[in-house]
Homo-oligomer: A and B are copies of this chain.
Amino acid sequence: MTDGKDLGNANLLHDAMIQLGDAARAAMRELLAVPADAKNRALREAARAIRDSTSALAAANAKDMKTAEEKGTAGAMLDRLLLTDGRIEAMAKGLEDIAELDDPVGSIMAEWPRPNGLQIQRVRVPLGVIGIIYESRPNVTADAGALCLKSGNAAILRGGSESFHSSTAIMKCLQAGLRAANLPVAAIQMVPTTDRAAVGEMLTMIDHIDIIVPRGGKSLIERVQNESRIPVIAHLDGNCHVYVDRAADPTMAIDIIQNAKMRRTGICGAAESLLIDRTCAPELLPGIINALSQAGCEIRGDDATQALDKRVVKASEKDWDTEYLDAIISVKQVDGLDEAIDHINRHGSHHTDAIVTEDSAAAEKFLKNVDSAIVLHNASTQFADGAEFGMGAEIGISTGRLHARGPVGVEQLTTYKYVVRGDGQVRP
């Protein structure tokens, strides 16, 4: 343990975590009765506190940066860790944006009367206590805490040890917001130690935490999914496909594949694989390959594709299952729509897949039969994003099937209860 409170031995850590959990559970119960206004006020006051604390945040961040640099941390990670004035302002603005979102809590999802006179409503309520486990980006402390609060949940945050001082300083601002709105301060808590064993503790606190959301690299997410005794909402792989149908508009095909692959290569909605109908490949593929190559993309193709352009290197079987997150794409020619759908369902990660075609029957078949969280017709896979969907901020994109699929915004951080109103009914 290098930072944070020294919690001594395993028993002390366990007791501290249980205390945190008890406080979260109590805060969550209080939040059940809190109106939208109070939550929004807390978010706006937290934003104000963040702006007022710009220099304190920068100083805390400087400590984390210094330690990270001394450890020889890689440049990309250092960049994720850094809080500039611009990033601090963006964090404050992010809280205000979340305050502006519609409050999902209390909305009536469905209601119906029964012949015996009972009135039944299905009403949105908070999920409960949410545990967020994340890596170096300190702004997740503000984003995740705010999304949980907006949806009426208590949050227990566990950030990376490298951002401990930054996150602690951000946490103070969030709690100042809670205090200003007379909300329980334990509505957003941070694990007060960098001890890695705290993550293990969190993942077994089935009586205190209702759901775990890991945010970070694949190894973090796999650890959480393997160890957690609590249900997990996680984003695993984004092995996204674009299928160019025989009835595709040639210009649109080039535009979409170019954008889906190259706009940003490091995001989960970036395309990793291009499938194309064998019958239109000779006509369309040379232009697509040329455009991608000129943009600096490495192309790994099957034999038929390699034969078209010598810049294409040979794809191995493994390429069909690979999320590159880089300027590389795999290309395979298929015998029409059915093979494309089958390939995507077998090799894809059920995240986001697109078809380019002017044939609406082919499009509808693709949209229905491709078993992914997001399916698109004539649009780039890079739209896989909560903000692009108009859902506001998101805590991630779920590749699981249960509870939340696709972008996880404030609505997906709720559950429901049944409210039944009668006038003395008893069951015969």
Residue A405 is within 8 A (CB to CB) of chain B in the complex: yes
Per DSSP, chain A at the interface is mixed
With both beta carbons as reference points, the residue of chain B lying nearest to A255 in the complex is identified as: B426
Q: Knowing A210-B402, A402-B231, say if A427 contacts B368 (CB, 8 Å).
A: no
Least Cβ distance of A46 to chain B in Å?
Answer: 25
Q: Is the CB of B425 within 8 A of A379?
A: yes
Residue A423 is within 8 A (CB to CB) of chain B in the complex: yes
Q: Which residues of B contact A426 (CB under 8 A)?
A: 255-256, 258-260, 263, 379-380, 382
Stretch at the interface among A165-173, A279-287, A413-421: A413-421
Q: Knowing A231-B231, A420-B376, say if A425 contacts B383 (CB, 8 Å).
A: yes
Within the complex, which residue of B128, B406, B427 is in contact with A388, where a contact is CB–CB below 8 Å? B427
Number of contact residues on A: which range applies? Answer: 35 or more
Residue A390 is within 8 A (CB to CB) of chain B in the complex: yes
Q: Is the CB of A403 within 8 A of B402?
A: yes
Name A's B-contacting residues (CB within 8 A). Answer: 29, 32-33, 112, 114, 118, 120, 125, 127-128, 210-211, 231, 249, 252, 255-256, 258-260, 263, 345, 363, 365, 367-369, 371-380, 382-383, 388-390, 400-403, 405-406, 415-427
Least Cβ distance of A105 to chain B in Å?
Answer: 10
Within the complex, which residue of B365, B389, B419, B425 is in contact with A367, where a contact is CB–CB below 8 Å? B419
Q: Which residues of B contact A29 (CB under 8 A)?
A: 345, 369, 371
Q: Knowing A231-B231, A369-B32, say if A415 contacts B421 (CB, 8 Å).
A: no
CA distance A421 to B358 in the complex (A): 12
With both beta carbons as reference points, the residue of chain B lying nearest to A109 in the complex is identified as: B109
Q: Knowing A127-B401, A401-B127, say if A390 contacts B120 (CB, 8 Å).
A: yes
Q: Knowing A369-B33, A380-B426, say if A417 contacts B405 (CB, 8 Å).
A: yes
Within the complex, which residue of B377, B405, B406, B418 is in contact with A389, where a contact is CB–CB below 8 Å? B418
Q: Is the CB of B377 within 8 A of A249?
A: no
Q: Is the CB of A371 within 8 A of B403?
A: no
Least Cβ distance of A28 to chain B in Å?
Answer: 8
Q: Is the CB of B369 within 8 A of A401?
A: no
Can you identify 12 A-B contacts, CB atoms within 8 angstroms? A32-B371, A114-B388, A127-B402, A128-B401, A211-B401, A231-B402, A374-B417, A375-B417, A375-B419, A382-B426, A382-B427, A402-B402
